[in-house]
């Protein structure tokens, strides 16, 4: 049992408890309230009850709920709900929402995709701790693959390194491609200090890397296009920067796009989604069951908006 003395007026019981103990989510508080495990001045009161200086809260719940975030337990404070597209003993494929990082070295940003996955397994009493096989930008939604053991992780890292996976994205851009289907080559130079890349027709320096991007027009209206984009190479910000270089910036992209237009359209995140990942033939007998297997996530929100002609 934990006893808390209120030292100043608070707007609500739930607000005070959630700010003080982040593991006490709304659903958890409701559950404990129904079980008579939350009392104020010895009485059961609604969670929206305002607290006054001098009130006493008694919480008859496990001590683990009073943990504060630190480097070792930060995953417990992440949202535990994940959209699982596929799972077996080696591989986990999830549909990442736009707006969350896949991982963050700063543990104080604890609501990352990796932490959500860890919390999902922890909440189900499973000690599995999948590792990222690749990354997506924070503002990009869609498929992310995680390995559930070290051997498969190394296999997947080699697959991505050797470009043996077919990756397809979907996006909405400002502009219309000159051809319905085309392949574009250029060079990408990364500026790590500014977290920015530059695309040029020729190499700028010895840090420049060749890139190849496939662009397929799905449909267009006015000056907007819905595109399927295939990655032949997989460089940092490749799709976003390459399409901007081709004068087809992705809607909602604050780094390579048109910010005045993004504000006009009230775009919170970039209209870019990792839609499909497909394996080719796999010779490794341990994982040959994944040969030709493909994973596809549902269309993201911006596809419906496009077909409703909401981008104007």
The owner of tokens 């070295």 is 105
Rounded to whole angstroms, how far apart are CA atoms 237 and 206?
19
Chain mean pLDDT for the chain: 94
Burial 272-288 (b: 16+ CB within 10 A, else e): bbbbbbebeebeeeebe
Q: Residues 6 or more apart from 30 whose CB is under 8 A from it?
A: 47
Of these residues, 88, 126, 127, 137, which one is catalytic?
137
The confidence score (pLDDT) of residue 149 equals: 97
* Least confident residue range of 113-117, 150-154, 188-192: 188-192
Whether the per-residue pLDDT at 80 is higher than 90: the answer is no
CA diameter of the chain: 74
The confidence score (pLDDT) of residue 105 equals: 72
Within 10 angstroms of residue 254's Cβ, the number of other Cβ atoms is 13
Among 3.30.2350.10, 2.60.40.740, 3.30.420.40, 2.40.30.10, name the CATH number for the domain at 164-307: 3.30.2350.10
> Within 13 Å of residue 214, how many CA atoms lie on the same side as its CB?
12
Q: Residues 6 or more apart from 184 whose CB is under 8 A from it?
A: 212, 213, 214, 215, 242, 246
Mean pLDDT, residues 159-168 taken together: 92
Give pLDDT tens digits for 261-292.
999 999 999 999 999 999 999 999 999 999 99
Dihedral (CA of 182, 185, 186, 190) sign: positive
Mean pLDDT, residues 153-180 taken together: 95
Rounded to whole angstroms, how far apart are CA atoms 279 and 167?
9
Dihedral (CA of 238, 240, 245, 248) sign: positive
DSSP assignments along 206-261, one per residue: TT-EEEEEEEEEEEEETTEEEEEEEESS--TTHHHHHHHHTT-PBTT-TTTS-HHH
137 is catalytic: yes
The confidence score (pLDDT) of residue 191 equals: 87
Q: Residues 6 or more apart from 270 whose CB is under 8 A from it?
A: 98, 137, 139, 140, 171, 240, 250, 251, 252, 253, 254, 257
2-66 matches 74-158 in fold: no
Q: Which CATH class is domain 2-66?
A: alpha beta
Mean pLDDT, residues 123-147 taken together: 94
For the chain, what are the domain ranges?
Answer: 2-66, 74-158, 164-307
The confidence score (pLDDT) of residue 23 equals: 87
CATH of domain 74-158: 3.30.2350.10
Please report which helix (H) or strand (E) contains residue 111, including its range.
none
Q: Give, in order, the Cα–Cα distances in Å from 30 to each of 27, 40, 297.
A: 5, 15, 33
């Amino acid at each position: 049992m934990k006893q808390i003395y209120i030292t100043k007026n608070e707007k609500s019981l739930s607000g005070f408890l959630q700010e003080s103990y982040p593991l006490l989510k709304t659903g958890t508080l409701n559950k404990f309230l129904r079980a008579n495990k939350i009392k104020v001045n010895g009485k059961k009161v609604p969670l929206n009850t305002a607290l006054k200086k001098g009130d006493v809260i008694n919480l008859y719940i496990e001590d683990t709920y009073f943990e504060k975030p630190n480097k070792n337990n930060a995953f417990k404070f992440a949202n535990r709900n994940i959209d699982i597209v596929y799972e077996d003993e080696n591989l986990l494929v999830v549909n990442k929402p736009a707006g969350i990082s896949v991982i963050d070295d700063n543990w104080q940003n604890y609501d990352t995709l990796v932490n959500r996955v860890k919390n999902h397994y922890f909440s189900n009493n499973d000690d599995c701790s999948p590792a990222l096989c690749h990354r997506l930008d924070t503002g990009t939604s869609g498929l992310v693959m995680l390995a559930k053991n070290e051997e498969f992780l190394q296999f997947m890292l080699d697959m991505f390194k050797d470009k043996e996976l077919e990756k397809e994205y979907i996006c909405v851009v400002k502009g219309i491609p000159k051809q319905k289907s085309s392949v574009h080559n250029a060079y990408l130079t990364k500026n790590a200090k500014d977290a920015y890349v530059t695309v040029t027709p020729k190499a700028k320096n010895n840090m420049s890397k060749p890139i190849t991007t496939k662009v397929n027009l799905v449909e267009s209206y006015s000056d907007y296009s819905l595109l399927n984009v295939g990655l032949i190479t997989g460089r940092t910000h490749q799709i976003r920067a390459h399409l901007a270089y081709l004068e087809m910036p992705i809607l909602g992209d604050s780094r390579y796009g048109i910010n005045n237009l993004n504000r006009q359209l009230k775009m919170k995140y970039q209209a870019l989604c990792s839609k499909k990942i497909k394996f080719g033939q796999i010779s490794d007998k341990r994982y040959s069951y994944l040969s030709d297997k493909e994973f596809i996530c549902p269309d993201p929100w911006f596809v419906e908006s496009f077909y409703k002609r909401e981008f104007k």
